[in-house]
């Protein structure tokens, strides 16, 4: 059995009890004792901008080749002193947060070359702030805090290799400044966090989009913008998921805007939607409805195991030309308890299992 790799040492300075030279020496002495281990650097605090910035800057530069993770939670004025640092050849994660003077606008370049950077997290910046970066290989961006649509477009245009974006895009006062459509040819996953407004989607073109996740409620008048966006992405879109119940789902979405989906995960959809969806899912009723669907799951949801559902699932155990078998069906009720199904329901579902479908109800695999 191999020996687990040691956790990278982390230094977090809360408050500033030392002078800047002493602070810098204490950090570096501690890290030197770490030998050749990868390092994580985390700083959280508030201090006058002339106090501590040089120590942090020098430490980052000195240990740049070994830094795997950097997390900075400081004032924007403090952060603005950390310009043109790098390169960071081993850096994988960068988190930058400003929670102390959100009235300030911030415009700075936090890093130079970081060819291995995979994840960028930032939060707490004022409107019209800009987080600039020169890492063209960045593939994952997560924003813990709202971006304006223009800030979102700046991130997208500044990261040509971006494949995964998670965050909240919220409109402030005034209209979106950008008038032209923004196209990103590599973005594959778009996760819209709670609080997002959807009107910015009218300007967004994602020809490679494969996975969209909605974790935000929205009004019915935003549906046309969303459906138009999904329709533009339909040729590549393969996975649709939600994690909030206040979404006005309609079965027609899947017929007209997402016909090539292979995976669907829905959180607590309305019962009227479920009845209509299962009727359409039955290939005896509609052979053209979601022909590529292979995995279907419902979270925090109670599904009636009745004749329409069983007939729909049974029809998906066979593949016609141009269609696929439904490989798995999952239902996770709000409270997972034993004996969710009676004997006849269990027997009917086990028949489908014998035909090759994986079925999960609650905590059990049938």
* pLDDT for the residue 365: 64
Please state the separation of Cα 156 from the chain's center in Å. 14
Domain positions in the chain are 8-116, 261-366
Q: What averages of pLDDT result for each successive group of 10 residues across the chain (366 residues)? A: 42 45 69 76 64 74 86 76 76 79 54 75 59 67 81 84 91 66 95 93 96 93 94 97 91 96 95 93 94 95 88 91 90 70 84 91 68
CA gap 308, 287 in Å, rounded: 15
Cβ contacts of residue 81 below 8 Å, gap of 6+? 49, 53, 54, 57
* pLDDT for the residue 130: 53
* pLDDT for the residue 187: 96
CA gap 210, 268 in Å, rounded: 23
CA gap 207, 234 in Å, rounded: 9
* pLDDT for the residue 44: 76
Task: Give one DSSP letter per residue of 64-129, joined into a string.
Answer: GGGEEEEEEE--HHHHTT--S----TT--EEEEE--S-TTS--EEE--S--TT--EEEEE-PPTT-
CA gap 243, 240 in Å, rounded: 11
Task: Give one DSSP letter per residue of 294-332, joined into a string.
Answer: -EEEEES------HHHHHHHHHTTS--TT-----EEEEE
CA gap 159, 134 in Å, rounded: 8
Nearest-10 Cα torsion for 213, 217, 223, 225:
-70
pTM for this one? 0.79
CA gap 148, 338 in Å, rounded: 46
Nearest-10 Cα torsion for 155, 156, 158, 162:
110
């Amino acid at each position: 059995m191999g020996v687990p790799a040691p956790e990278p040492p982390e230094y977090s300075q809360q408050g500033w009890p030392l002078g800047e030279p002493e602070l810098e020496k204490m950090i570096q002495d501690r890290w030197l004792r770490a030998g050749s281990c990868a390092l994580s650097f985390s700083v959280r605090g508030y201090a006058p901008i002339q106090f501590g910035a040089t120590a942090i800057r020098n430490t980052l530069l000195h240990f740049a080749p070994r830094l795997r993770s950097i997390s900075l939670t400081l004032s924007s004025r403090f952060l603005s002193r950390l310009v043109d640092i790098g390169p960071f050849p081993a850096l994988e994660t960068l988190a930058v947060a400003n929670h102390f003077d959100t009235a300030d606008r911030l415009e700075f370049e936090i890093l130079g070359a970081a060819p291995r950077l995979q994840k960028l997290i930032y939060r707490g910046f004022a409107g019209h702030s800009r987080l600039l970066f020169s890492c063209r290989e960045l593939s994952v961006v997560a924003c813990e805090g709202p971006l304006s649509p223009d800030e979102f477009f700046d991130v997208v245009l500044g990261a040509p290799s971006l494949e995964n974006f998670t965050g909240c895009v919220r409109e402030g006062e005034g209209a979106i400044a950008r008038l032209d459509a923004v196209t990103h040819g590599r973005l594959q996953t778009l996760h819209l966090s709670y609080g997002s407004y959807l009107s910015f989607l009218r300007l967004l073109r994602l020809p490679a989009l494969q996975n969209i996740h909605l974790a935000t409620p929205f009004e019915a008048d935003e549906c046309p913008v969303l459906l138009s966006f999904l329709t533009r992405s339909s040729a590549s879109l393969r996975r649709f998921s939600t994690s909030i119940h206040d979404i006005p789902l309609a079965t027609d979405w899947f017929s007209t805007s997402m016909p090539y989906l292979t995976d669907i995960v829905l959180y607590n959809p309305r019962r009227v939607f479920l009845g209509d969806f299962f009727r359409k899912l039955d290939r005896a009723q509609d052979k053209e409805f979601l022909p590529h669907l292979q995995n279907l799951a419902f979270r925090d949801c109670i599904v009636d195991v009745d004749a329409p559902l069983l007939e729909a699932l049974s029809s998906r155990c066979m593949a016609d030309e141009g269609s696929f078998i439904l490989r798995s069906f999952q239902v996770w009720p709000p409270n997972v308890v034993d004996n969710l199904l009676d004997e006849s329901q269990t027997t009917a579902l086990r028949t489908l299992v014998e035909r090759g479908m994986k079925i999960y109800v609650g905590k059990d695999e049938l």
